[in-house]
Chain A
Amino acid sequence: MSPKAEDRKPAPIVITGISGNLGGLLTRRLHTRHPIIGIDRRPFEGKPKDVVHHRIDVRRRKAEDIFRANRVGALVHLGLVHQPSRSGRAHRDQNVLGTMKLLEYCARYGVRKVVLLSSAYAYGAQPTNPNFLSEDAPLAADLNTPEMRALIEWDMYAQSFFWKHPHIETVILRPVHVVGKNVRNAPSNYLRLTHPPTLLGFDPMIQLLHEEDLLQAIALALEPGKRGVFNVVGPGEVPLSRALRELGRTPVPIPHFLAAPVLRQMWRLGLSAFFPGDLPHLKYQCMVDGSRARAELGFHPEHTLRETIRAIL
């Protein structure tokens, strides 16, 4: 093969966390145009035939071999593990150390594009928040929970990588609560409860993002020339109570001074599916400004607010 033909062949994209719901959807969206290499310890159900999947931990030596052996064009890192019940230490090791390794391979083997999926969770729900946080707002999520600490450390590390390697187009996406039919994250699970706990006298505004709109944002981030940190916001803002009503839920309002101890005990005993670390999100708002993604990535959510809320059904 002549070098010219080699150039024309699209470079493979490595997707971590490919076996997850989002990884599967992204793969099906991209695999007809790019060769896809997946890294995930979990089995990949419904894997397209042309996709190569390595069932390994990203921290293993073999993960580096993937970068060495292939002329990887881009990394899409979806491999952030959100599992609040895991031990804090293992959670951090998996997420932060795993990402450090991956980014090290990218720098060493000349990957030109890195897309990292962070979360608007990192800003934290606080009474002093302006209604719309920009990308420059401090990442001030509740540092008492190891998951939030790990997320912030992770996002900060991603940002330092962005500055240290100007020749790599690094994109950090901070989507608001992602919801979807098969999405199993905390906000989706919360909205699926028949009797979701709410805080008596508190009704914060929330923002939701349809998983398919998130895919669009990732696809836009992969385009050449795009770099930076972007909040990704869905079609609008809605009071939490209105979203629950749209879904036909019957909220159980708890006085806020009782909520933390009660929900913590219930979580510990396995009686409640609500992670008490997410309590500030039922009390204060954590909304972000998505204008940068609109202007620079050309991102426009395709689903309406009502469709987005109903996406969890």
Chain B
Amino acid sequence: MFEEATDRLCEFLKGMADPAVVARLDRVDAKLNEFGVDPFGFDPELAKTIIPAMVFLYRHYFRVQCQGLENVPTGRVMLICNHSGQLPIDAMMICSAMVLEAEPPRIVRSMVENWVPTLPFVSHLFARWGQIVGTRENCLRLLASDQPILAFPEGVRGINKTFGERYQLQEFGLGFMRLALQARAPIVPLAMVGAEEQTISVYNARGLAKLLGLPNLPITPLTPLVGPLALLPLPTRYRLYVGKPMEFTGNPDDEDSVIAEKVKRVSQTIHRMLHDGLRARKHWFW
């Protein structure tokens, strides 16, 4: 009975999907087995159920403007982006851009936090949509099979910034650079403008978040009025800038200081792209 209900829901959502987008998803090159899933649990049929939501958010809600997507090379690549917005909608929009606008369409594997597998429903749905727990082994294995990886080296430090800290890049982790060097994968810097303003967080209630078992709990001016609904993002316009691929060579096991030098070149590039984007922007919402 439960299975029938979920099947019917899936069919309904798939029926709502834009046929042109379905056709794009069908063009994605995936190594599927006889049960229609790839070794990492990506299932294109189940991925189609998210198309209606994805298209609505991408085209109508955040009205994403994407520049330079043709810079993403074929084969293995690491997309490195600034992280913002309290909820990881920026990741979802980058993945959507690669499905909706890239030629050929590709499934980006974003490296998710390792508490995601402990969340009911989210755990397996993320996997079926092609997302994956961000361990070293997973990343190297995906790069070795020439898949695009999305990573946010700022991690939670970036996404949890309060409004006063917007567009200030937080410290980048070094792990992504070691992985890129080891897998000989080019790095494509991305700058996301607009996601910062979707939730105006004035304070991070870390203590309360810990009590509730949440990674963080941003408080917005609307929280006293509408409670958790205040976390719903405002329809700001997203602008995604895709930079030229950067190639790095060297020993992945170098000292931190050597790796940090290379990481700095990436973060400076993203910083520059962010501020060019901010200068070009006239308004938050359009």
Residues of A near any B CB (own CB < 8 A): 127-134, 199-205, 236-239, 241-242, 245-246, 250-251, 253, 255-256, 284-285, 304-306
Contact = CB atoms under 8 A, between A and B. Distances in A.
Interface string B96-129: 0000000000000000001111111111100110
A255 B2 CA distance: 13
B117 A284 contact: yes
A250 B116 CA distance: 27
B138 interface: yes
B127 to A, nearest CB: 7
Contact of A127 (B37, B114, B121, B138): B114
Contacts, number: 83
A239 B115 CA distance: 20
B136 interface: yes
Interface in B1-27: 2-3
Given A132-B141, A201-B121, A202-B124, A305 B37 contact: no
Say what secondary structure dominates the interface of chain A. Answer: loop
Given A131-B132, A202-B124, A239-B128, 5 more contacts: A131-B137, A201-B121, A202-B123, A237-B37, A306-B35
Counting chain B residues whose Cβ lies within 8 A of the other chain, the interface size class is 20 to 34
B254 interface: no
B34 interface: yes
A193 to B, nearest CB: 15
Contact of A239 (B34, B37, B120, B135): B37
A131 B2 CA distance: 28
Contacts of B35: 238-239, 242, 246, 305-306
Interface string B16-47: 00000000000000000111010111010000
A204 B125 CA distance: 10
B37 A238 contact: yes
Nearest to A251: B3
B133 interface: yes
A199 B120 contact: yes
A131 B43 CA distance: 15
Contacts of B2: 251, 253
Nearest to B43: A239
B65 to A, nearest CB: 34
Contact of A130 (B122, B124, B127, B135): B135
